[in-house]
Structure 1
Amino acid sequence: MAYVTDPDRRVLVAVDMESYSGRDNVLQHRAQLAFREVMATACDELGFDRANWLIQQGGDGELAILPPGASERAVVTRLTPVLDRLLREHNRGLRHEARIRLRVGVHEGPVHLDGANGYPGDAVVTVCRLVDSPQLKAALRQFPGAAVALIVSDRLYHDIVRQYQDLRPEHFQQVTARLPEKHFEATAWIYVPGESISTTYEPGPPVSASDQPHDGSGGESVERRDDRSRPQSASGGQVFQDIRSRGIGAIGNGNSISVSGRPEDLDSWGSPR
C-alpha cells in the first residue's frame, strides 16, 4: 500500500451556479464563459493569485484550493461582495434564465494534494456539502435581487468575521447545514451581500431542496408553522407575528413584535431579541 503523505492546511473555496442544469446547451456554454471571466476579474481586482489556485472544475462551478499564505480574511470578507457587484453588472438586461447567480462556500483545513482522483480530505468534503446545502439555496432564492450568497464554516465565522468585522457579524445568519442523504450536518453562517439576512431569513426546513430560482410562480421559502408554536404575550396586550422589520421596535402598551413567530424570539420583557 502506498505511503500517505502529510496533508497541507489550505483555504478552500467552492462555487456553484444556481439553476445551471435548467439551461439549454447555448446558455450553459455562455454561462461557463461568463463564470470564468467573472472569477478571473474578481481575483485580479482583489490581488488574488488565481494562477496558483488548484482548481477542480465542474460545468456549473469549481472547487479551488488556494496557495499557502492566502489570506483567509480577504477571501472570507472581500471575494463575495466583489463577485456580487460584477455579476449584477453582467446580469443587467439579461433574461431571467440567462442570469448567473452563485453560491460560494469557504472553509479551511488539511487536504491531500497528491490524491489519485481529486483532493482527499474532510475539509474538501465539508466545503462542498456547505455550498450544496438546502439552507444556502433557500437563502439565495429568498433574495432575488442578490447575485451571490456566501456560507462559511463556524470556525471561519468566529476566527475571521467576529474578530475583524470587515463584514458586519450581525448580517450573518447562523444555520445548521444539513444534507441527510449524505449524512452531513454542520453549523455554518450565511451572508448575502447588501441584505441584512439575520433580520429577514428564517433558516427552518425549506419547502424543497431542489435548486429552483424564485420566480413568484408558487411556494413559500419557509414552511408555515403550526399555530401551537405561535408566541403568547405573557404581559397582556397583543403579539404581532411574522412582521419583517429592519429595526427593533415595539408597538406600545405592552405589545411586542416577533419577527419569526417563535416564542424564543421574545425576551422576558416580551421584546424581540
Structure 2
Amino acid sequence: MRNGSGDAGTGWTPTGHCTLFVCDIIGFGKRTDHVQGHLRIVLYEALKSGFEASGMPLDGCYQEDRGDGVIVVLPPSYDPARLAHPLPDHLRGSLRRHNDIAAEHARMRLRIALHSGPLESDANGIVGTTVNHVNRLLDAPSFKKVLADIPADLGILVSDEFYRDVIREGRGAVDPTEFRPIDVRLKETDTTAWLSVRAAPPPAGSPSGAPATVGPLPSGHTEPSGHTPPSGPGLNARHRTRQADETELPALFEIVDRLMDIPLLTTAEGRQQIVDALRKEIAIRVPRRAQPHLDIHSIVRTCLEFPEGLQEFLSLVHAYAGESSQVQALDDTVARLTRRTP
C-alpha cells in the first residue's frame, strides 16, 4: 500500500528533508497466516487512532506497507516531536488494550525507529540513504536484544540526527532523559542511536522493577564506545546505567537542590560553562533541558553514569563557582550521602 495524498489532499510526495516513522511487529514471522492477518488489522487501527490522537492524522502522511509493519513519512506541516510524545503513549495504550484480551499467540509488541534526513521519491516509492538508515535502526541486533530481554509493549530507537534536532531540546512534553544511547552496527551502519523502552509498571508491592518508561538497559546490551558504566564506590557505583530506584532518588534530588542554591548554576551560561569543561564523552551525553532544575538533574545523572564523573563535576563547580557557603553545603551533602550509601 502507498498513500501520498498529503494533509491537504494535494498529492504530496516526500522530497527534501523529511521525518520517517517505521515500525514492525515483533515475532510476526512466527505467527500463522490467520494471526498475521489479524495483527495487521490491529496495527493499522492502532496507528490510525494513535496518529489522530497525537494531532497528526495518518491520512495526511505518506505510507508504505512493509508486511509486518509500516513506513510513515510526515508532511512538513506536522511537528516531528509528536512522534516522541505523545504518539508512543497512545500506541502503548492500544497495545495494552489489545493484549489484555488476546490469546498469547495473538499478542503484539512493536519496534519503532525514527529518523530525519533527505529523501527522494520515484514511481515505486521513497528511496535514499535516509530510508536505508531508518530500516537499519529498526533491524539493529542491539535493539532486538534489548526487547528480547525486556517484556515491553514497545521500544523506540531514534537516530542521532533525530535526537539532536528534536529530543535533546525537550520540545513540548518530550523528555530527553527517557532516551539512552546504544551502539548500532549493521551492514555499512556503525553509529550511536537513542533508545526508550515503554514497559509495564512493576506489580504492586514489588520491591523493584521497570518503570513505565525504561531508559537504562539490561545486562548484555551494547553501550556506545567510550560510554562505560561507573564502577567506583559511593553514589557513582549506585548509578550504573543511570538508573535510580526509589531509595536513590531522594539522594539525587537533594544534591540537585544544593546545586540550585549556587548562583552560577541558576544561569544557563553558568551550567553551559561547566558542561563544556567536562570530558567530552560526558559532555556529549548530557540531555539539556530549558528549566534550570531539570537541566541540573540531567547533568548530574549523566555524570553519575561515568567513573569519577560526579567527582569531576563537583571539582568544576568548585573551580568556577569558587568557595562559598552554598558550595560547602553541597560538599557536606555529598559526603553525608556517600557515607551512608552501602
Query: Do both share a fold (TM > 0.5)?
Result: yes
**Structure 1: runs of 5 or more not aligned:** 1-5, 207-228, 251-262
Paired residues for 1:13-52 under 5 Å: 13-52=21-60
Does 1 or 2 have the higher relative contact order (CA < 8 Å, sep 6+)? 1
Paired residues for 1:163-178 under 5 Å: 163-164=169-170, 166-178=173-185
Q: Which has the higher helix share?
A: 2
Tell me the CA shift for residue 249 of structure 1. 4.4
Tell me the CA shift for residue 188 of structure 1. 0.9
Note if 1:148 corresponds to 2:178: no
Equivalents in 2 of 1:177, 1:88: separation in Å?
28
Tell me the CA shift for residue 85 of structure 1. 1.0
Contact 2:145 2:221 in 1 (8 A): no
Amino acid at match of 2:61: W
> Where does residue 85 of structure 2 map in the other structure?
77
Equivalents in 2 of 1:134, 1:63: separation in Å?
20
Equivalents in 1 of 2:81, 2:239: separation in Å?
38
> Where does residue 62 of structure 2 map in the other structure?
54
Tell me the CA shift for residue 267 of structure 1. 4.1
Contact 2:111 2:155 in 1 (8 A): yes
Q: Among residues 167, 188, 198, which one is paired with 1:161 in the alignment?
A: 167
Q: Among residues 218, 228, 237, which one is paired with 1:201 in the alignment?
A: 218
Tell me the CA shift for residue 204 of structure 1. 3.0
Equivalents in 1 of 2:27, 2:184: separation in Å?
20
What is the root-mean-square deviation of aligned Cα atoms in Å? 3.3
> Where does residue 196 of structure 2 map in the other structure?
191
Q: Deviations over 1:135-187 (max 9, x none)?
A: 2222223331x3111111112212222212523222211111121xx221221
Query: Are residues 267 and 44 of structure 1, via their aligned partners in 2, closer, same or farther at CA, if it must alter by over 3 Å?
Result: closer
> Where does residue 72 of structure 2 map in the other structure?
64
Q: Deviations over 1:182-213 (max 9, x none)?
A: 2212211011235453334357349xxxxxxx
Deviates more, 1:38-47 or 1:25-34: 38-47
Paired residues for 1:175-254 under 5 Å: 175-179=182-186, 182-193=187-198, 195-202=212-219, 204-205=221-222, 231=231, 245-246=244-245, 249=248
Amino acid at match of 2:168: R
Equivalents in 2 of 1:163, 1:230: separation in Å?
26
> Where does residue 119 of structure 1 map in the other structure?
126
Tell me the CA shift for residue 46 of structure 1. 1.9
Equivalents in 1 of 2:34, 2:163: separation in Å?
38
Tell me the CA shift for residue 24 of structure 1. 0.9
Q: Helix, strand or coil for the counterpart of 1:199?
A: coil
Contact 1:171 1:195 in 2 (8 A): no
Equivalents in 1 of 2:166, 2:230: separation in Å?
36
Q: Helix, strand or coil for the counterpart of 1:164?
A: coil
Count of paired positions? 226
Query: Are residues 232 and 246 of structure 1, via their aligned partners in 2, closer, same or farther at CA, if it must alter by over 3 Å?
Result: closer
Contact 1:52 1:67 in 2 (8 A): yes
Computing the radius of gyration over CA atoms, which structure comes out larger, 1 or 2? 2
Tell me the CA shift for residue 95 of structure 1. 2.5
TM-score by length of 2: 0.58
Query: Are residues 51 and 98 of structure 1, via their aligned partners in 2, closer, same or farther at CA, if it must alter by over 3 Å?
Result: same
Q: Deviations over 1:57-107 (max 9, x none)?
A: 121001112222221111222211110111111110322221111111111
Tell me the CA shift for residue 241 of structure 1. 11
Query: Are residues 204 and 142 of structure 1, via their aligned partners in 2, closer, same or farther at CA, if it must alter by over 3 Å?
Result: closer
Equivalents in 1 of 2:196, 2:222: separation in Å?
18
Equivalents in 1 of 2:307, 2:96: separation in Å?
34
TM-score by length of 1: 0.71
Give aligned-pair identity as a percent: 25
Equivalents in 1 of 2:165, 2:21: separation in Å?
17
Equivalents in 1 of 2:170, 2:230: separation in Å?
37
Equivalents in 1 of 2:308, 2:219: separation in Å?
15
Equivalents in 2 of 1:19, 1:197: separation in Å?
21
Equivalents in 2 of 1:268, 1:87: separation in Å?
39
